[in-house]
């Protein structure tokens, strides 16, 4: 496959010369974004199905066979719905906010490695780039909340942003452990650092298990998913920061949320679950492993939602600041100390 | 006093009272059907069986007198067994279809069956069926199978109404309540049987199937009809008066109501109600808004005041109007400058005006009538004019009072009359003078006089022999052309016989009119003068001139010639022909107000329903007219404010005085005895605007088209037979009426009712009248 | 010991895993969804659906206008006017049920002494414009005529429990 890609690139270069590079990049972006968006669409379908099953229901089954066309129908609906712009809103910011929400979620995919060579850009500081990009989505939320000129939207935005900022810290410290263990900021190298002869025992999940748990939970909080979806808080603030949005503008927030989920799932797989590496030595490494691992993390997200009731906001903050951050800092020290001993075998 | 014990409670009660009374006093309810406080005891229903310790069988509580140390158990095993048994027997023949029954929801049998009966019946056989009977337009007997033979209605007829119109025929299972062969129940108190009936056998015919008791809101009110001022309970559903029942007031109407008061509510919802202010423009009636109509009236009145003087305005009001309306009307008129205002529409003799010491009233409390032992009633169609007062007189007579009558007709009063003198109208005064003379002779102040008739002597003797004596003047005496002199003589008779002297108030506010000063001022014209000398403008408050006035011919002529007639009325009536403005005012259920009844009791009431259409309470209309005419002092914001203003100052009791400052006539002036004299009563169901429009009352026998009745010898003279149609002529106007022989009437008298459309073209209620063969 | 146990339970997220085990188990449980237009749940003879007014076999309407249903209706959805019919019987001149107000509690049915107002098994009805769900006497009687067989069967089935 690599040969195929390389020959394709070579052919283009021969044909168009320097003009080919942007075109080829665009093609590669499309090759990443299109499947991501498709996954987003079917993640919503999967969510409804999975939660439905867990609640002894069937879930969507009317549009297409097994309801498979449901996300398409939803998309069409949202596409044709009017975008209502509240009269008291800041029109420019109101429109720009959903774009600011979705764009970083997609941009982060630029440094995502799918196997040892298949990556859009091999950035050495890939982890920093991703942290920077995911942090940017906070702006989309706060701008949406503020520009709506609605108290519910604003409260939702404040909640949401405070929550994301808080959990980013814990998430960051968890990643520090990974970086220490892998001695690299390049995502591809992080994966390769988990390669060994013992299969899944080489993965960072083993020595950094508490960090893995913290990372997954913080990931749930980062994406404002249940049980940390205070930002939506139907009972108190209607729907949170996007309460005034409708149609495609709303759909963008929706896409951003699910794109973020998928991103977190991929990152978790890469950081802790050995990315595309095979869990057992006798099977070859492959993209399929990565997809499988990410899917499992996504399933966990849905499972959480079906199982846990929503946190109270002060509990959420207590968990973030008083449990996760001390725990992760402690683990950084533990890992640092551990790595100086011969007991560190990863 | 006797001490007994009921259900462990010690009760002290008077000797002779029943166990049921004693239990009532102790707050213990004993179920009963046939027992009624105002009726004799029948003990026929057996529902009130209680256990009396040491008595071998349960005893009926209503018929068991208390004895010292008696121990009564109302909930013992024996009592409960007895009650359950009686209930089961009562329900054997009673249909169990309460959902259809009009009484459902307010039924004693239903309540007591739930409270004391068993849950099911063992009776499997056929139930008896009692065919319905037609007893007239007021009482529905469609469901006679429901009767439980308590005989309350029968006892009511015998003891309260004075005429036994229903009776129980046959025995055992065939026992039925029925009227005498095909006759209807015509008592003017018949409606009370509906209230008395503990089941749904006797129900109200006009109310039948129109509403359920639980849908009705009840409001207290006061009857606007006769001078009694009966307390009413107005039952309202969807802002519509559905029926009227009595509100208990022992001092006034006890728990009774005359049919007039009970069924007149139908007039409230009459299609004849005026609902929009109307103006006459070029002979056509236009509906207008209130401001337009009021502005028109104010301009018209101002115009006439400026061009002809305020004295050209005249105001007439019915005594059925509220105190506040009458007060504001006279205040408005006097504020404009006219003193021509009057409410005594049917009065002929106004010579007492200015000589009165106070407002004429009954001279005693209504409930004292029951305790009188000697009574002289002068010129009163007592039963028809004052149905509930007549009932009180009957109760007095039943207790042994002697009733003396002086009148021009001899209607059955349904009680024994000790002495009666029936004379021609113009001999009334003479007869009274004879009674006075006889009293003087008896007391020795004068020597015997040959002209004293035997009847006068016996009346005088009767009066002199009593302890609690009353002399009462009825409507006929008050409307008599010599009313003032009659009153003076009656007052003298009263003082000689130490009797109380009073007037039977004709209408709800006959006393209130005087208190409200709705009578002409010193320079004003009274009701009669206003018509004799027609005014340029008339304000008619509730008045229907052709029916409400002493002389309809004069009245019609006067209002027809007037430049402006403003009719404040709840109804579209004949005013359409001569009025220029019709202002819709609300009926008594739609306004707040007060009536002062004949005993001087002020009874205020609130509106029960919203005014129909655009009708407004008359006091508000008059208030606004006062504002528009710039009359000072019209700033009231409630009818209570009006009432308080007019009742402040001298206590009401001191404003009531029957004394007349007139010389005692020595010899009655006898008119030349030529031709027939008219005796006119106002038939009970045409006496006021409301009853005239009550459809059910208009179908009763009391509302039948009037006939002219005369002594049989007069018929022979005329050469006509009873039942023929004759022409009754008064002042050149002939009215065809049926003639009926009535040998109880004195010769030389033609009894022709007034106040009825059929006789509205005739002249004054008194005077000469001619009857011709047609 | 208990404390140590609790410590590990807390840090190993024991409760959370337990909760997820529950939902996880249900994931594989038999689904109870009824695919409504294709499948329908069984109805009891006491089912309380659209109202109907019944008639006797003679064609005479059962309702006698006692107004008990109007009185008992907790939602004040019933409006009745009653008058005497020419034959002297008590009959309704107006019998309206506002199904928008109705809460289908079945009290009207229960209070009816003649089984005139009943609730049928019909629950699939719509109103396309305002006022369509305001059922008048004629509409209710028509309902009764249409479903009489089913209504009578249901009453008979339930009779022994009433």
DSSP-assigned letters across all residues of B659-694: -B--PPPSSPPPPP--SEEEE----GGGSSHHHHT-
Question: Does the predicted interface ipTM exceed a cut of 0.85?
Answer: no
pLDDT the model gives residue B672 = 60
B504-545 residue pLDDT tens: 999 999 999 999 999 998 888 999 999 999 999 999 999 998
Categorize the per-residue pLDDT at A36 as very low, low, confident or very high, splitting at 50, 70 and 90.
Answer: confident
A169-196 residue pLDDT tens: 888 888 888 888 888 888 888 888 888 7
Q: Cα–Cα–Cα angle for B104, B108, B114, nearest 5°?
A: 80
pLDDT the model gives residue C6 = 85
Q: From chain A, pick out residues whose CB is under 8 angstroms from the CB of C16.
A: 307-308
Range 297-316 of A in CB contact (< 8 A) with C: 303-304, 306-308
Per-residue DSSP letter, A225: -
Q: Cα–Cα–Cα angle for C16, C19, C23, nearest 5°?
A: 135
Phi first, then psi, for residue C153 (nearest 5°) are: -65, -45
Nearest to C71 among B102, B210, B214 (CB): B214
pLDDT the model gives residue A1 = 61
Considering only A6-20, A287-301, B533-547, B565-579, which range has the smallest mean pLDDT? A6-20
What is the rounded CA–CA span in Å between residue B528 and residue B549?
Answer: 9
The Cα of C16 is separated from the nearest Cα of chain A by a number of Å equal to 8
What is the rounded CA–CA span in Å between residue B693 and residue A134?
Answer: 88
The answer to whether A213 contacts C13, with C-beta atoms less than 8 Å apart, is: yes
Residue C40 class from Cβ within 10 Å (0-12 exposed, 13-18 middle, 19+ buried)?
exposed
Quote the longest CA-to-CA distance of chain C: 90
The answer to whether A53 contacts C22, with C-beta atoms less than 8 Å apart, is: no
Chain A residue whose CA is closest to C26: A54
pLDDT the model gives residue B240 = 93
User: pLDDT at residue C13 above 90?
Assistant: no
The answer to whether C71 contacts B99, with C-beta atoms less than 8 Å apart, is: no
Q: Is chain A adjacent to chain C, meaning 3+ CB pairs within 8 angstroms? A: yes
The answer to whether C82 contacts B210, with C-beta atoms less than 8 Å apart, is: yes
Categorize the per-residue pLDDT at A135 as very low, low, confident or very high, splitting at 50, 70 and 90.
Answer: confident
The answer to whether C113 contacts B99, with C-beta atoms less than 8 Å apart, is: yes
Chain C residue whose CA is closest to B100: C66
Ranges of H-type helices in B444-578: 454-464, 475-479, 483-496, 510-515, 527-532, 545-548, 552-561, 575-578
Nearest to C31 among A58, A303, A306 (CB): A58
What average pLDDT does the segment C41-65 reach? 91
The answer to whether C20 contacts A303, with C-beta atoms less than 8 Å apart, is: yes
Tokens representing A100? 């600011």
Write the CA distances from B597 to B216, B258, B508, B510, integer angstroms: 28, 16, 6, 7
Chain C residue whose CA is closest to B214: C71
The answer to whether C33 contacts A308, with C-beta atoms less than 8 Å apart, is: no
Categorize the per-residue pLDDT at C60 as very low, low, confident or very high, splitting at 50, 70 and 90.
Answer: very high
User: In the B/C pair of chains, how many CB contacts fall below 8 A?
Assistant: 31
Q: In what order do the strands lie in the sheet with B313-317?
A: B284-287, B278-281, B581-584, B564-569, B537-541, B313-317, B341-342
Tokens representing B603? 């009874």
Which regions of chain B are under pLDDT 50?
Answer: none
The answer to whether C31 contacts A308, with C-beta atoms less than 8 Å apart, is: no
The Cα of C64 is separated from the nearest Cα of chain B by a number of Å equal to 6
The answer to whether C71 contacts B209, with C-beta atoms less than 8 Å apart, is: no
The answer to whether C32 contacts A308, with C-beta atoms less than 8 Å apart, is: no
- Better-scored residue on pLDDT, C74 or A278: C74
User: pLDDT at residue A112 above 80?
Assistant: yes
Range 61-120 of C in CB contact (< 8 A) with A: none
Residue C32 sits at the chain A interface (C-beta within 8 Å): yes
CB-based contact B294:B616 (threshold 8 Å):
no
Phi first, then psi, for residue A39 (nearest 5°) are: -65, -40
What is the rounded CA–CA span in Å between residue B243 and residue B208?
Answer: 10
pLDDT the model gives residue C50 = 92
Q: Which residue has the tokens 């036994």?
A: B164
Percent share of chain B, pLDDT over 70: 99
Residue C23 sits at the chain A interface (C-beta within 8 Å): yes
B168 three-class SS: strand
Nearest to C19 among A55, A213, A307 (CB): A307
pLDDT the model gives residue B669 = 66
Cβ neighbours around A328 below 10 Å, total: 23
Residues 6+ apart with CB under 8 A from B258: B188, B189, B191, B225, B226, B230, B387, B388
The answer to whether A306 contacts C33, with C-beta atoms less than 8 Å apart, is: no
CB-based contact B590:B607 (threshold 8 Å):
yes
What is the DSSP pairing of strand B49-52 with strand B71-73? antiparallel
- Best CA proximity match to B459, nearest among B397, B378, B540: B378
The Cα of C92 is separated from the nearest Cα of chain B by a number of Å equal to 10
Q: Cα–Cα–Cα angle for A186, A188, A194, nearest 5°?
A: 105
The Cα of C5 is separated from the nearest Cα of chain A by a number of Å equal to 18
Phi first, then psi, for residue B378 (nearest 5°) are: -105, 125
What is the rounded CA–CA span in Å between residue B333 and residue B325?
Answer: 12
A194 three-class SS: coil
The answer to whether B212 contacts C67, with C-beta atoms less than 8 Å apart, is: yes
A-contacting chains (≥3 CB pairs under 8 Å): C
Considering only A3-12, A34-43, A51-60, A74-83, which range has the smallest mean pLDDT? A3-12
The Cα of B702 is separated from the nearest Cα of chain C by a number of Å equal to 26
**Cα within 13 Å of Cα(A259), Cβ side:** 25
Range 313-332 of A in CB contact (< 8 A) with C: none
Nearest to C23 among A54, A57, A61 (CB): A54
Chain C residue whose CA is closest to B98: C66
* DSSP secondary structure letters along B415-459: S--SEEEE--GGGHHHHHHHHHHHHHHHHTSS---TT--HHHHHH
User: From the candidates A48, A49, A54, A61, which should be mutated to test the interface with C, based on the most C CB atoms within 10 A?
Assistant: A54
> E strands of B192-230, at which residues?
203-204, 217-222
pLDDT the model gives residue B407 = 93
pLDDT the model gives residue B234 = 95
């Amino acid at each position: 496959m690599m040969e195929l890609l390389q020959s394709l690139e070579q052919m283009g270069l021969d044909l168009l010369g320097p003009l080919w590079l942007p075109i080829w990049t665009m093609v590669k972006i499309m090759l990443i974004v299109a499947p991501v968006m498709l996954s987003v669409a079917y993640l919503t379908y999967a969510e409804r199905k999975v939660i439905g099953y867990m609640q002894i229901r069937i879930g969507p089954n009317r549009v297409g066979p097994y309801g498979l066309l449901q996300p398409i129908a939803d998309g069409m609906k949202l596409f044709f719905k009017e975008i209502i712009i509240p009269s008291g809103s800041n029109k420019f910011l109101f429109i720009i906010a959903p774009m600011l929400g979705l764009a970083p979620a997609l941009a982060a995919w630029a440094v995502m490695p799918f196997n040892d060579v298949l990556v859009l850009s091999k950035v050495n500081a890939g982890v920093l780039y991703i942290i920077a990009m995911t942090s940017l989505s906070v702006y989309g939320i706060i701008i949406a909340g503020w520009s709506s000129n609605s108290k519910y939207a604003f409260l939702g935005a404040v909640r949401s942003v405070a929550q994301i900022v808080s959990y980013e810290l814990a998430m960051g410290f968890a990643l520090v452990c990974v970086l220490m263990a892998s001695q690299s900021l390049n995502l591809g190298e992080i994966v390769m650092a988990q390669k060994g002869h013992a299969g899944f025992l080489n993965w960072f999940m083993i020595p950094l298990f508490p960090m893995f748990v913290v990372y997954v939970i913080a990931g749930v909080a980062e994406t404002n998913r249940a049980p940390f979806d205070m930002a939506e808080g139907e009972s108190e603030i209607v729907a949170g920061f996007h309460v005034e949005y409708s149609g495609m503008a709303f759909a963008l927030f929706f896409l951003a949320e699910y794109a973020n989920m998928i991103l977190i799932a991929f990152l978790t797989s890469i950081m802790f679950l050995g990315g595309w590496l095979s869990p057992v030595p006798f099977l070859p490494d492959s993209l399929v492993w990565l997809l499988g691992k990410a899917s499992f993390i996504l399933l966990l997200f849905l499972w959480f939602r079906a199982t846990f009731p929503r946190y109270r906001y002060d509990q959420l903050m207590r968990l973030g600041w008083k449990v996760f951050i001390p725990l992760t800092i402690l683990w950084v020290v533990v890992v640092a100390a551990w790595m100086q001993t011969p007991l560190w075998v990863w | 006093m006797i001490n007994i014990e009921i259900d462990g409670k010690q009760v002290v009660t008077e000797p002779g009272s029943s166990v049921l009374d004693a239990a009532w006093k102790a707050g213990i309810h004993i179920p009963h059907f046939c027992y009624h406080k105002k009726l004799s005891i029948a003990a026929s229903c057996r529902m009130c069986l209680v256990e009396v310790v040491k008595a071998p069988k349960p005893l009926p509580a209503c018929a068991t007198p208390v004895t010292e140390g008696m121990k009564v158990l109302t909930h013992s095993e024996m009592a409960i067994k007895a009650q359950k048994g009686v209930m089961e027997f009562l329900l054997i023949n009673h249909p169990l279809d309460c959902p259809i029954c009009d009484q459902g929801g307010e039924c004693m049998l239903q309540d007591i069956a739930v409270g004391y009966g068993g849950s099911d019946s063992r009776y499997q056989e056929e139930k008896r069926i009692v065919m319905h009977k037609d007893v007239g337009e007021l009482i529905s007997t469609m469901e006679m199978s429901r009767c439980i033979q308590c005989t309350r209605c029968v006892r009511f007829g015998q003891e309260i109404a004075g005429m036994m119109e229903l009776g129980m025929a046959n025995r055992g299972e065939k026992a039925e309540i029925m009227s005498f062969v095909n006759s209807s129940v015509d008592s003017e108190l018949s409606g009370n049987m509906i209230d008395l009936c503990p089941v749904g056998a006797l129900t109200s015919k006009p109310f039948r199937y129109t509403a359920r008791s639980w849908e009705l809101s009840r409001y207290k009110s006061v009857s606007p009809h006769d001078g009694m001022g009966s307390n009413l309970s107005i039952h309202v559903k969807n802002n519509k008066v559905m029926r009227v029942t009595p509100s208990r007031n022992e001092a006034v109407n006890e728990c009774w109501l005359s049919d007039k008061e009970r069924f007149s509510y139908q007039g409230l919802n009459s299609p004849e109600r005026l609902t929009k202010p109307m103006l006459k423009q070029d002979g056509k009636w236009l509906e207008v808004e209130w401001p337009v109509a009021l502005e028109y009236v104010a301009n018209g009145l101002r115009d006439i005041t400026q061009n002809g003087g305020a004295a050209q305005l005249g105001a007439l009001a019915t005594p059925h109007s509220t105190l506040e309306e009458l007060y504001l009307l006279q205040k408005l008129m006097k504020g404009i400058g006219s003193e021509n205002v009057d409410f005594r529409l049917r009065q002929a003799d106004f010579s007492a005006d200015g000589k009165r010491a106070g407002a004429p009233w009954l001279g005693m409390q209504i409930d004292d009538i029951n305790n009188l032992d000697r009574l002289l009633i002068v010129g009163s169609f007592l039963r028809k004019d004052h149905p509930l007062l007549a009932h009180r007189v009957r109760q007095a007579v039943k207790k042994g009072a002697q009733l003396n009558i002086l009148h021009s007709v001899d209607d059955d009063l349904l009680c024994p009359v000790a002495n009666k003198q029936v004379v021609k109208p113009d001999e009334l005064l003479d007869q009274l003078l004879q009674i006075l003379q006889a009293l003087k002779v008896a007391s020795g102040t004068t020597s015997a006089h040959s002209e004293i008739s035997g009847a006068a002597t016996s009346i005088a003797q009767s009066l002199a022999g009593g302890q609690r004596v009353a002399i009462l003047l009825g409507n006929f005496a008050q409307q008599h052309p010599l009313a003032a002199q009659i009153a003076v003589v009656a007052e003298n008779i009263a003082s000689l016989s130490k009797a109380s002297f009073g007037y039977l108030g004709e209408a709800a506010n006959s006393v209130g009119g005087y208190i409200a000063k709705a009578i002409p001022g010193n320079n004003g014209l009274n009701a009669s003068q206003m018509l004799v000398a027609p005014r340029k403008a008339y304000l008619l408050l509730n008045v229907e001139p052709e029916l409400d006035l002493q002389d309809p011919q004069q009245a019609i002529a006067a209002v027809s010639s007037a430049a402006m007639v403003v009719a404040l009325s709840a109804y579209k009536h004949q005013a359409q022909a001569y009025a220029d403005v019709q202002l819709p005012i609300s009926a008594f259920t739609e306004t707040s107000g007060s009536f002062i009844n004949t005993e001087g009791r002020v009874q205020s009431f609130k509106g029960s329903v919203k005014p129909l259409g655009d009708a407004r309470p008359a006091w508000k209309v008059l208030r606004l007219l006062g504002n528009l005419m710039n009359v000072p002092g019209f700033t009231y914001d409630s009818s209570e404010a009006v009432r308080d203003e007019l009742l402040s100052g001298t206590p009401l009791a001191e404003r009531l005085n029957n004394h007349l400052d007139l010389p005692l006539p020595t010899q009655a002036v006898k008119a030349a005895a030529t031709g027939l004299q008219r005796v006119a009563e106002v038939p009970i169901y045409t006496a006021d605007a409301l009853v005239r429009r009550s459809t059910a009352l208009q179908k009763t026998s009391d509302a039948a088209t009037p006939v002219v009745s005369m002594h049989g010898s007069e018929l022979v003279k005329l050469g006509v037979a009873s039942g023929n149609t004759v022409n009754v002529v008064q002042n050149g106007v002939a009215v065809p009426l049926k003639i009926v022989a009535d040998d109880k009437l004195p010769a030389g008298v033609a009894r022709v009712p007034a106040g009825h459309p059929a006789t509205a073209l005739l002249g004054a209620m008194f005077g000469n009248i001619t009857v011709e063969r047609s | 010991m208990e404390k140590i146990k609790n410590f590990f339970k807390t840090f190993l997220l024991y409760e959370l895993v337990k909760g997820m085990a529950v939902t996880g188990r249900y994931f594989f449980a038999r689904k109870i969804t009824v695919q409504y237009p294709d499948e329908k749940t069984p109805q009891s003879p006491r089912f309380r659906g659209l109202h109907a007014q019944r008639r006797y076999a003679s064609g005479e309407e059962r309702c006698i206008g006692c107004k008990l249903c109007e009185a008992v209706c907790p939602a004040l959805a019933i409006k009745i006017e009653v008058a005497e019919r020419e034959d002297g019987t008590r009959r309704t001149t107006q019998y309206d049920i506002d199904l928008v107000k109705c809460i289908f509690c079945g009290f009207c049915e229960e209070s009816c002494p003649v089984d005139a107002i009943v609730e049928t098994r019909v629950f699939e009805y719509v109103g396309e414009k305002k006022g369509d769900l305001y059922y008048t006497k004629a509409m209710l009687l028509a309902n009764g005529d249409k479903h009489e067989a089913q209504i009578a069967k249901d009453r008979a089935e339930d009779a022994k429990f009433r």
